[in-house]
């Protein structure tokens, strides 16, 4: 089967850096994706890692280590608007499997 | 592209009534997914289609739920009869490939009284 583990909640201060970890178990691994969902909104795609290493998109970066079945999402220069839930999702030869999400609260 | 389109955005109905949710995927995407999201159970995959054909409906909770995709640009999720425990946000998503990035619609917020 497939499973993902990520922390349920994280709190960080505005302007700081926060890392959200994700570990997974799957077969036929394609890649690891990250989605953001604001309260009342829909999940929106943030980033994708198909190969080991770091992918950077503005203030957000995502990292993957396939040998460790581990990835993380790094958010820099946190803003209040970054308060949301963040989901990691594993792609394989089946539809994406989503983690249960990490609720990030950014405080002043 | 307009993205994935869902309608209605909000639906309030009474127990026992039929509910039909609609979805238009992104043009060119071969896969369409229906999800349900609640606080208790998170994001659950209900059913998905490939080229309009249902591939896996093992996530459909009961026979009261049914889904169709008559063509590449339209899908419906129907609940008949609806029950209060069906209250949730229902998302439709589409993708180019089975394990590839999915793009979600805005969701339908269903409340069954």
pLDDT-derived band at B1, boundaries 50, 70, 90: low
Beta partners for residue B90, in sequence order: B36, B108
pLDDT value at position A96? 84
SS3 of B24-92? ECCCCCCEEEEEEEECCCEEEEEEEEECCEEEECCCCCCCCEEEEEEECCEEEEEECCCCHHHCEEEEE
Mean pLDDT of the A53-62 span: 94
From residue B16, give the alpha-carbon distance in Å to each of A35, B66, B84, B110, B113.
35, 15, 9, 14, 9
Could you report the per-residue pLDDT of A4-32, keeping only the tens digit for each? 999 999 999 999 999 999 999 988 788 99
Higher pLDDT, B84 or B40: B84
Which positions 17-76 of A are in contact with B (Cβ < 8 Å)? 28, 30-31, 33, 41-45, 48
pLDDT score recorded for residue B64: 96
Contact A41 B106 (CB under 8 A): yes
Distance from CA of A106 to the nearest CA of B (A): 21
pLDDT band at A91 (very low <50, low <70, confident <90, very high): confident
């Amino acid at each position: 089967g497939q499973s993902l583990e990520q922390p349920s909640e994280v709190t960080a201060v505005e302007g700081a850096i926060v890392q959200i970890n994700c570990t997974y178990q799957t077969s036929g691994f394609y890649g690891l994706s990250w989605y953001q969902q604001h309260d009342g909104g829909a999940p929106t795609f943030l980033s994708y890692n198909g190969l080991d290493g770091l992918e950077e998109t503005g203030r957000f970066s995502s990292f993957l280590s396939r040998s460790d079945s581990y990835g993380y999402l790094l958010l820099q220069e946190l803003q209040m608007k970054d308060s949301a839930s963040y989901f990691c999702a594993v792609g394989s030869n089946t539809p994406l499997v989503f983690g249960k999400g990490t609720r990030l609260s950014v405080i002043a | 592209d307009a993205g994935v389109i869902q309608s209605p955005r909000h639906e309030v109905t009474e127990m026992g009534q039929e509910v039909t949710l609609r979805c238009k995927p992104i043009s060119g995407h071969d896969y369409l997914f229906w999800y349900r999201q609640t606080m208790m159970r998170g994001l659950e995959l209900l059913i998905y289609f490939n080229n309009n054909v249902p591939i896996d409906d093992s996530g459909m909770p009961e026979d009261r739920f049914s889904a169709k995709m008559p063509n590449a640009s339209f899908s419906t999720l129907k609940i008949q009869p609806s029950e209060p425990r069906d209250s949730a946000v229902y998302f439709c998503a589409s993708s180019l490939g089975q394990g590839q990035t999915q793009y979600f619609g805005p969701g339908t917020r269903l409340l069954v009284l």
